[in-house]
């Protein structure tokens, strides 16, 4: 006999679980299937910014000191300058990916999501979806199957553009976090993104555009301040790698199929926003399905991706052009208020056009030669 549900969610990562929870809050029957067994680990910077934390609270998932370590802002460091800014409201939280996954699953269970782990959804072109080869009936199918989504081509939603593509690696170190911030260290081979995840552990995510040549160790070695800090720290997990991209699709909805999370478009990991996008999309998708109309979800989805993708591409100019990075870091170091305002734009507390309007003169300094 076929399994049935109102909505079949393909993939139980952060986006699929958030969608399933949001759907249950509308009283919709949800079946979620993931090919892997939980808790699922993945290369990740493991930082949840205050805005994403609020999205999780709206879903009913409260993260606190039991889960990880709070951080109060962002710090950029390079070999010449350091600049920090505090969040205007709230604190971020760093937590192991598996801890977040467990918290999401626990809440999904509480609200009545039916979950099948170790269950692959088979998606062969022009054939109905099956669960480990068994038939399944549903009204809507949600593709939350990540970066290399199979739902995407199966539903004919593959057309889009790849804007950036880099490599990411993650390792944990046993060491007391030395900073109340997420630190992003800029080096010649890429960035090291340091997030406290407990009172005695940090996560270091490496982001680089150099394939093969650069792995975590090489990037850390090229950043003296970090190399010294980590030289004697015990590595507590094995390195995990992944591709990080910024891409957008022409469409994320077709008929009764909708994509969410990385399957539906992504933003380079430097933004720290990947999971947050899925949490935001989940609310919109659940509302749309409960109204039997996916059009508002498609429109809202484009809006959710626009700002983070624009900001990520701007930040990546600093990766591509070291001289621009040095200039920007000098300007930020001399004028930390500018950096704080940018963080507020990133955190959704100020609009980008408003920021550009108000900060035009200061931004001009980035590109004009400094007085001798
Ligand atoms: C190096 C790096 C650092 C990052 N740092 C951060 C950060 O600090 N903060 C942040 O918010 N984001 C970060 N991100 C981004 C974040 O990891 C992703 O945006 C997030 O994992 C996307 O979640 P998802 O649920 O869409 O996809 P995934 O987490 O990839 O989940 C997809 C799930 O679908 C399942 N699946 C796939 N196919 C099938 C199938 N056919 N049947 C059943 N199940 C299937 C998979 O097993 C998987 O569990 C980072 C990414 C990288 C690469």
What pLDDT does residue 372 have?
47
Looking at the domain 3-67+95-162+246-313, which fold is it?
FAD/NAD(P)-binding domain (3.50.50)
Q: Give ranges for CATH 3.50.50.60 in the chain.
A: 3-67+95-162+246-313
Dump pLDDT digits (tens) for 305-329.
Answer: 999 999 999 899 999 999 999 999 9
What pLDDT does residue 45 have?
97
Separation of 31 CA from ligand 1 center, angstroms? 19
The model's confidence at residue 215, banded by pLDDT at 50, 70 and 90, is confident
On the question of pLDDT at 264 being above 50, the answer is yes
Nearest CA to ligand 1 atom 29: 13
- Does residue 43 have its Cβ closer than 6 Å to ligand 1? yes
Tell me whether strands 47-48 and 3-10 are parallel, antiparallel or unpaired. Answer: unpaired
Q: What's the chain's average pLDDT? A: 93
Q: Which class in CATH covers the domain with range 165-243?
A: alpha beta
On the question of pLDDT at 362 being above 80, the answer is no
Q: Give ranges for CATH 3.30.9.100 in the chain.
A: 165-243
**Counting atoms of ligand 1 from 1, which one is nearest the CA of 151?**
41
Nearest CA to ligand 1 atom 31: 13
Which of 38, 97, 269, 315 to probe ligand 1 with, by most ligand atoms within 8 A of CB? 269
The neighbour count for residue 57, using CB atoms within 10 Å, is 12
The model's confidence at residue 365, banded by pLDDT at 50, 70 and 90, is low
Dump pLDDT digits (tens) for 126-160.
Answer: 889 999 989 999 999 999 999 999 999 999 999 99
Nearest CA to ligand 1 atom 13: 274
Task: Spell out where 59-131 has E strands.
Answer: 69-71, 73-77, 82-86, 92-94, 114-117, 121-122, 130-131
Dump pLDDT digits (tens) for 11-31.
Answer: 999 999 999 999 999 999 999
- Does residue 16 have its Cβ closer than 6 Å to ligand 1? yes
Least confident piece of the model among 189-198, 250-259, 290-299, 346-355: 346-355
Q: In 3-state terms, what secondary structure has residue 43?
A: coil
Asked whether 45 and 179 are in contact (CB, 8 A), the reply is no
- Does residue 184 have its Cβ closer than 6 Å to ligand 1? no
Q: How many CA atoms lie within 13 A of 344 on its CB side?
A: 15
- Does residue 11 have its Cβ closer than 6 Å to ligand 1? yes
What pLDDT does residue 342 have?
87
The neighbour count for residue 127, using CB atoms within 10 Å, is 9
Both tokens assigned to 13: 């990562």
């Amino acid at each position: 006999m076929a399994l049935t549900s109102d909505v079949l969610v393909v993939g139980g990562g952060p986006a699929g679980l958030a969608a399933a929870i949001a759907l249950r809050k509308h009283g919709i029957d949800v079946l979620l299937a993931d090919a892997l067994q939980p808790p699922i680990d993945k290369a990740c910077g493991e930082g949840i910014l205050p805005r994403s934390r609020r999205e999780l609270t709206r879903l009913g998932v409260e993260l606190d000191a039991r889960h990880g370590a709070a951080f109060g802002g962002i710090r950029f460091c390079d070999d010449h300058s350091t600049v920090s800014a505090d969040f205007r409201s709230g604190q971020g939280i760093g937590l192991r990916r598996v801890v977040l996954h467990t918290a999401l699953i626990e809440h999904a269970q509480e609200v009545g999501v039916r979950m099948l782990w170790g269950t692959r959804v088979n998606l062969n072109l022009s054939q109905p979806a099956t669960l480990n080869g068994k038939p399944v009936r549903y009204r809507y199918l949600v593709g939350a199957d990540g970066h290399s989504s199979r739902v995407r081509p199966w539903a004919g939603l593959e057309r889009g553009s790849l804007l950036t593509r880099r490599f990411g690696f993650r390792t944990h170190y046993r060491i007391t976090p030395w900073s109340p911030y997420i630190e992003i260290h800029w080096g010649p081979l890429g960035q090291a993104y340091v997030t406290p995840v407990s009172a005695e552990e940090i996560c270091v995510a490496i982001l680089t555009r150099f394939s093969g040549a650069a792995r975590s160790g090489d990037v850390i070695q090229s950043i003296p301040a970090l190399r010294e800090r980590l030289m004697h720290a015990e590595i507590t997990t094995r390195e995990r790698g992944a591709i990080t991209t910024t891409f957008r699709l022409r469409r994320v909805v077709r008929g009764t199929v909708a994509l969410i999370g990385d399957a539906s478009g992504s933003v380079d990991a430097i933004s720290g926003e990947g999971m947050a996008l899925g949490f935001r999309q989940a609310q919109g998708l659940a509302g749309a399905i409960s109204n039997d109309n996916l059009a508002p979800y498609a429109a809202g989805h484009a809006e959710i991706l626009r700002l983070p993708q624009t900001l990520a591409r701007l930040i990546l100019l600093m990766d591509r052009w070291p001289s621009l990075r040095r200039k920007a870091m000098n300007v930020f170091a001399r004028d930390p208020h500018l950096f704080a305002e940018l963080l507020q734009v990133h955190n959704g507390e100020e609009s980008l056009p408003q920021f550009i309007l108000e900060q035009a003169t200061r931004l001009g300094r980035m590109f004009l030669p400094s007085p001798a």
